[in-house]
């Protein structure tokens, strides 16, 4: 057999095998509609179909009418009490140190689901093993939360001294604004150690309780904290960097929601412009697209102005706080460059915020 004939033979063998593989994938992944009802029943009787996954988008609304289902169970994210009960199950698998309290761990994890809590316990156990401990301590759970929320530490990511200075001022700006403004979530930790894919530093705020409602003042404070890093860069260096891109996006989203959904823009009145559409099958809420808006160009321009005004006001508020505390900003950035990570107690002590002195920004309503 010559070389050309051998090549052709292997080519046809590969082609036949490819066709058989495609046929197998097609027959094993067909939907019920493609199978047909009779074929589907036959496969069920033969035991070739163990389970069926039905996408919510193909359900008919009639299926949800009263009497169709005996019981509907809503599985939502657990509150603090629910997290304590879930942790009681997962913590049985590990040996705990005396300083670990379920209520404390639950307080660290607002918004976590049951799967998140299971992952948290596993991560904490791994961290304890890596440091050679025979028991899982509270610090392991704290570090595990940071790892889940902010990502893995990337200590091998080399930053220039100039970049580290910018990041230190940026993160200290977030922390200072959060510590200064009333109603902001407490700062748990601030760090300039890169984490995850793109985070060059991070400031972790930890809510003290589960929240289901926020007022206008709290949203404005949240925007000011988000823009604290941007304000610190402008104040310290007189120029801007790309590090605030995510902060700007989040602040803009909040401002747009305040204008379009919550009726918190005075010039737009008590009107909701972001009417949410309905799912064609389930009636579930789904945000409208740009092509489904129900307002004109003049209103769209007014919305843009309201969003711009809210974001500009939040940035001005952050600038005012940091201008008042310029010395603390520089001192905190220097400490952050030296230690790389600062906790809540260290921040308050090192920046002189634990002396009970009334905050001028709070007094003046900054």
Residues known to be catalytic: 171
Helical pair 326-339 and 297-324, crossing angle rounded to 10 deg: 80
- Which of 65, 60, 133 shows the shortest CA–CA distance to 96? 133
Q: Which two three-digit tokens encode residue 83?
A: 């997290």
Contact between residue 185 and residue 230 where contact means Cβ atoms under 8 Å apart: no
Q: If you search the block for the tokens 């906790």, which residue do you land on?
A: 343
Helical pair 245-260 and 297-324, crossing angle rounded to 10 deg: 130
Q: Quickly count: other Cβ atoms within 10 Å of residue 32's Cβ.
A: 13
Helix or strand run (H / E) with residue 203:
strand 202-205
Contact between residue 223 and residue 254 where contact means Cβ atoms under 8 Å apart: yes
The CA distance from 228 to 325, in Å, is: 12
Contact between residue 255 and residue 216 where contact means Cβ atoms under 8 Å apart: no
Say whether 286 sits in a helix, a strand or coil: strand
Q: What is the DSSP letter of 289?
A: P
Cα 36 to the chain's mean position, in Å?
Answer: 42
**Dihedral sign of CA atoms 94, 100, 102, 107 in order:** negative
Query: In terms of DSSP bridges, do strands 277-278 and 202-205 run parallel, antiparallel, or are they unpaired?
Result: unpaired
**Dihedral sign of CA atoms 308, 314, 318, 319 in order:** positive
Contact between residue 205 and residue 149 where contact means Cβ atoms under 8 Å apart: no
Q: What is the dihedral of CA 157, 161, 163, 168, to 10 degrees?
A: 100
The CA distance from 248 to 239, in Å, is: 16
Q: Which two three-digit tokens encode residue 356?
A: 């009970």
Q: Which two three-digit tokens encode residue 109?
A: 């994890």
The CA distance from 357 to 259, in Å, is: 36
């Amino acid at each position: 057999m010559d070389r050309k004939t051998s090549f052709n033979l292997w080519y046809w063998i590969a082609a036949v095998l490819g066709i058989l593989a495609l046929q197998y994938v097609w027959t094993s992944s067909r939907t019920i509609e493609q199978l047909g009802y009779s074929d589907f029943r036959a496969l069920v009787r033969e035991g070739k179909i163990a389970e069926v996954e039905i996408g919510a988008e193909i359900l008919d609304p009639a299926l949800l009418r009263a009497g169709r289902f005996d019981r509907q169970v809503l599985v939502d994210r657990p509150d603090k009490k629910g997290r304590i009960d879930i942790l009681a199950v997962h913590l049985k698998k590990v040996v705990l140190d005396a300083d670990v309290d379920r209520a404390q761990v639950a307080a660290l994890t607002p918004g976590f689901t049951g799967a998140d809590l299971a992952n948290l316990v596993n991560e904490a156990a791994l961290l304890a093993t890596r440091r050679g401990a025979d028991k899982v301590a509270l610090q392991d759970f704290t570090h595990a939360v940071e790892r889940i929320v902010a990502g893995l530490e990337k200590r091998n990511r080399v930053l220039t001294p100039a970049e580290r200075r910018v990041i230190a001022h940026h993160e200290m700006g977030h922390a200072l604004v959060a510590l200064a403004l009333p109603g902001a979530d407490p700062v748990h930790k601030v760090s300039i150690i890169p984490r995850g894919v793109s985070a060059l530093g991070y400031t972790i705020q930890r809510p003290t309780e589960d929240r289901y409602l926020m007022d206008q003042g709290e949203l404005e404070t949240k925007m000011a904290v988000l823009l604290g890093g941007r304000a610190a860069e402008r104040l310290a260096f007189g120029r801007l960097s790309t590090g605030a891109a995510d902060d700007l996006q989040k602040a803009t989203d909040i401002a747009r929601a305040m204008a379009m959904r919550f009726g918190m823009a005075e010039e737009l009145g008590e009107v909701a412009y972001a009417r949410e559409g309905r799912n064609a099958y389930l009636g579930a809420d789904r945000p409208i697209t740009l092509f489904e808006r129900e307002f004109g160009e003049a209103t769209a321009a007014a919305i843009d102005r309201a969003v711009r005004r809210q974001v500009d006001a939040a940035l001005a508020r952050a600038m005012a706080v940091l201008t008042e505390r310029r010395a603390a900003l520089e001192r905190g950035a220097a400490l952050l460059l030296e230690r790389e990570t600062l906790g809540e107690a260290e921040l308050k002590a090192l920046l002189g915020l634990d002396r009970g002195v009334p905050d001028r920004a709070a007094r003046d309503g900054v």
